[in-house]
Amino acid sequence: MQNFTFSNPTKIIFGKAVVAKLAPEAAKAGKSALLVYGGGSIKKNGVYDVLTGALAKEGITITEHHGVKPNPVLSHVRAGIKKARESNCDIIIAAGGGSVIDEAKAIAAGVRFSGDVWDFFSGKAQIREALPLFTALTLPATGSEMNSGCVVTNEETAQKFSAMGPALFPRVSVLDPETTMTLPRAQVANGAVDSIAHLIEGYFTTKDADVEVTDEIVHALARSVIASTGRILKDPSDYNARASMMWSATLALNGLATCGYGGMNFINHAIEHALSALYDIAHGAGLAIVMPAWFRHHLETAGPARLEKFGAAVFGTKTAEEAITAFEDFFRKTGAPVRLSEAKIPAADIPRIAANAMGLIRMWGMKHEQPEIEKILNKAK
């Protein structure tokens, strides 16, 4: 077990009818909010009305910044920074899924920075401060509601890069599982796959395979995601399944699932970021394509031990091959694509995808070269 630091100051308010509770929390930090949201689903599921009503009651003025894309783009982040500055916003409120929260984080950091916000993503600058951020989560998937990272795509350079910093932890996040009841089936699938991806990256790339407690936590959360997703697909109105899924997804990327693993990398994410930077594909769907291929590569290069352990604990499988098949079966069951061809991405594009992925791989200091990435992608044809 390797040394680690765990520190997560985000306060979570979880359950039925908790959305309005965000307003008094936000009022402690400011009086002028930039309200960040996406394509308008929060107007259909009631979150918009409840939240804006509660904010008004606290005397908080609202500047709206909506239209965040599923993979948030730099130009829209810049527009949000401009808007927040013009309105003298002193807090940022995000209402939506991980993309909305990620864009809100980039804006929160950008407003307080004299340089260009992309500098945080390209590695030219470090995030020193940010406006206080509050979130109302409506899509369990990315864990952004309780971590200090964000991912933004630069449309000009087709780079989907990430930025991190303790200042980006949301102060408070409200998680109401009822707001997830109306999610389209594809988004349920993407969220499940994304959560699994967060759980497996550390587990399978750890420099230390003797971390009993964290292995157990990863197994526990993976089992919960898989069981809850199965229940949701069977009965979308199953509140307890929605609730377990929502909290599992948060815990999958709040720091808990990697404690003690020491050196690790986000190889599946790096490859997937290339897919969603280049194609109109959801992050979860891209991950469902990359992961089985990477597992096969992992088996060839690192041996069966970790796949066997994970498979036995989570799927009840015996061999590494059976574990990979079980992953694939689960992704298929959710309706996610598990091959490039199923997402209509031509195999001829593999060198281009791999070249794009290398940008992030170098940025993150990971030791992989383009031929290896192409080899992995060839297993996803």
Placement of tokens 């089936």 in the chain: 185
Smallest separation, CB 218 to its own copies (Å): 9
Tell me: does residue 12 bind its own copies (CB under 8 A).
Answer: yes
Tell me: does residue 216 bind its own copies (CB under 8 A).
Answer: yes
Q: Which of 181, 227, 363, 366 binds its own copies (CB under 8 A)?
A: 227
Q: Give the span between the Cα atoms of 245 and 191, in whole angstroms.
A: 9
Distance between alpha carbon 265 and the CA centroid of its chain, in Å? 15
Distances (CA, A) of 124 to 127, 162, 292: 10, 12, 34
Smallest separation, CB 98 to its own copies (Å): 18
| Residue with Cβ nearer its own copies (27 or 107) | 27
* CA–CA–CA angle 219, 160, 92 (5° rounding): 85
| Residue with Cβ nearer its own copies (62 or 313) | 313
Tell me: does residue 212 bind its own copies (CB under 8 A).
Answer: yes
Contact mark string toward its own copies, 229..258, x via CB under 8 A? ----------xxx-xxx-xx--x----x--
Smallest separation, CB 33 to its own copies (Å): 21
Tell me: does residue 279 bind its own copies (CB under 8 A).
Answer: no
Q: Which of 52, 41, 171, 181 is nearest to 97 (CA)?
A: 41
Q: Give the span between the Cα atoms of 154 and 71, in whole angstroms.
A: 10
Residues in the interface with its own copies (CB under 8 A) total 45
Q: Give the span between the Cα atoms of 206 and 229, in whole angstroms.
A: 27
Smallest separation, CB 289 to its own copies (Å): 27
Strand bridging mode 32-37 / 91-96 = parallel
Tell me: does residue 260 bind its own copies (CB under 8 A).
Answer: yes
Tell me: does residue 309 bind its own copies (CB under 8 A).
Answer: no
Sequence-distant (≥ 6) Cβ neighbours of residue 15 within 8 angstroms: 175, 176, 177, 243
Q: Which of 135, 144, 122 is nearest to 95 (CA)?
A: 135
Tell me: does residue 1 bind its own copies (CB under 8 A).
Answer: yes
DSSP 8-state secondary structure symbol assigned to residue 171: S
| Residue with Cβ nearer its own copies (174 or 282) | 174
Stretch that binds its own copies, among 8-16, 71-79, 124-132, 339-347 (CB under 8 A): 8-16
DSSP 8-state secondary structure symbol assigned to residue 342: G
Tell me: does residue 200 bind its own copies (CB under 8 A).
Answer: no
Placement of tokens 């340089």 in the chain: 115
Q: Which residues bind its own copies (CB under 8 A)?
A: 1-16, 18, 177, 208, 210-214, 216-217, 219-221, 223-224, 227-228, 239-241, 243-245, 247-248, 251, 256, 259-260
